[in-house]
């Protein structure tokens, strides 16, 4: 992933696979249930990724509503357009969270899931979110605090080093626990903060399994490590899994916000 928001086709396909796991589906349902999109509403999906969220939002707002989906990555846009092609009430386009290509006050609701952690100019992105919501409109903003990451590893010191290295993959790795003040400064009311924890006890075809691969690859390219250390970490987790000892946990926070009338 890196500090970038751009993905090549291979990376986008990997994210698509991650988003098809049970944990990712539960996360989208949690966000959607908290936001409560209604029939006839217009909803903005900021950082729509491979398009699962826009499709599910489109079903919630029905054919009387509309979903606008944006992403900064062309390979993601390609996947999202393909996934949304049977939904006439979904529009997918390229756009940046700091320069949303939509009009002022146009949306009843918006979502942003693990997007703002990757943006250098957070104030600009949150100001844009406030701009595009109508008065009384609401948004569900989901962000992770990577300090919450837990792996049941035999070598805990090595595992912590890998996790610490991963923390620099984005500009704001702890945003999940530190978002209220920036949201309020952007003119938004924080109506609720709700935690969401992913817990996995297996690696095969799970969120944890994909994250193991992502962290291992990232650490392999990190200046702090030789090639062998991340590989040994990954094999440690694989051996734990073979013995039925996998435990993965990661907590994020969902901020339900609204624009004052």
Please list, in sequence order, all residues whose beta carbon lies within 8 angstroms of the beta carbon of residue 10, skipping any fewer than 6 positions away. Answer: none
Helix (H, G, I), strand (E, B) or coil at 155: coil
Please state, in angstroms and rounded to a whole number, the distance separating the CA atoms of residues 210 and 242: 16
**Percent above pLDDT 70 for the chain:** 98
* pLDDT digits 0-9 by tens, 219-259: 998 888 888 999 999 999 999 999 999 999 999 999 999 99
With tokens 């707002």, the residue in question is 61
* pLDDT digits 0-9 by tens, 185-208: 999 999 999 999 999 999 999 999
Q: What is the pTM of this model?
A: 0.94
Question: How confident is the model at residue 5, as a pLDDT?
Answer: 56
Rg over alpha carbons for the chain, rounded to the nearest Å, is 18
Bridge-based pairing state of the strands 90-94 and 133-144: unpaired
Residue 222 is classified by DSSP as S
- Token pair for 119: 């943006």
What mean pLDDT do residues 68-94 have?
97
Q: Determine contact, residues 188/257, Cβ cutoff 8 Å.
A: yes
Please list, in sequence order, all residues whose beta carbon lies within 8 angstroms of the beta carbon of residue 169, skipping any fewer than 6 positions away. Answer: 1, 2, 3, 218
Please state, in angstroms and rounded to a whole number, the distance separating the CA atoms of residues 198 and 201: 10
CATH of domain 9-145+171-198+252-258: 3.40.50.150
Q: Determine contact, residues 69/95, Cβ cutoff 8 Å.
A: no
pLDDT > 50? residue 1: no
Question: How confident is the model at residue 2, as a pLDDT?
Answer: 36
Please state, in angstroms and rounded to a whole number, the distance separating the CA atoms of residues 105 and 115: 21
* pLDDT digits 0-9 by tens, 97-155: 999 999 999 999 999 999 999 999 999 999 999 999 999 999 999 999 999 999 999 99
Provide the residue ranges of all domains of the chain, joining segments of one domain with +. Answer: 9-145+171-198+252-258
């Amino acid at each position: 992933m890196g500090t970038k928001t751009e993905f090549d086709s291979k990376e986008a396909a990997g994210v698509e696979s991650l988003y098809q796991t049970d944990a990712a589906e539960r996360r989208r349902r949690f966000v959607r249930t908290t936001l409560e999109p209604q029939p006839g509403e217009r909803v903005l999906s900021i950082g729509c990724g491979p398009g699962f969220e826009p499709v599910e939002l489109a079903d919630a707002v029905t054919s009387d509503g509309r979903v606008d989906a944006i992403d900064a990555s062309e390979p993601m846009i390609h996947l999202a357009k393909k996934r949304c092609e049977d939904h006439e009430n979904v529009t997918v386009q390229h756009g940046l969270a700091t320069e949303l290509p939509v009009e002022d006050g146009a949306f009843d609701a918006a979502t942003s899931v693990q997007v703002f952690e990757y943006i250098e100019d957070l104030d600009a992105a949150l100001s844009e979110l406030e701009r595009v919501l109508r008065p009384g409109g609401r948004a569900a903003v989901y962000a992770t605090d990577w300090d919450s990451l837990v792996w049941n590893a035999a070598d805990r010191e090595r595992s912590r080093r890998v996790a610490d290295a991963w923390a620099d993959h984005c500009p704001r790795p702890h945003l999940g626990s530190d978002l209220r003040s920036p949201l309020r400064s952007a003119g938004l009311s924080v109506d609720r903060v709700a935690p969401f924890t992913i817990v996995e006890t297996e690696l095969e075809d799970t969120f944890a399994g994909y994250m193991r691969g992502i962290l291992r690859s990232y650490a392999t390219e990190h200046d702090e490590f030789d090639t062998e250390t991340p590989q040994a970490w990954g094999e440690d987790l694989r051996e734990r899994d073979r013995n039925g000892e996998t435990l993965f946990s990661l907590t994020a926070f969902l901020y339900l916000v609204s624009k004052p009338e």
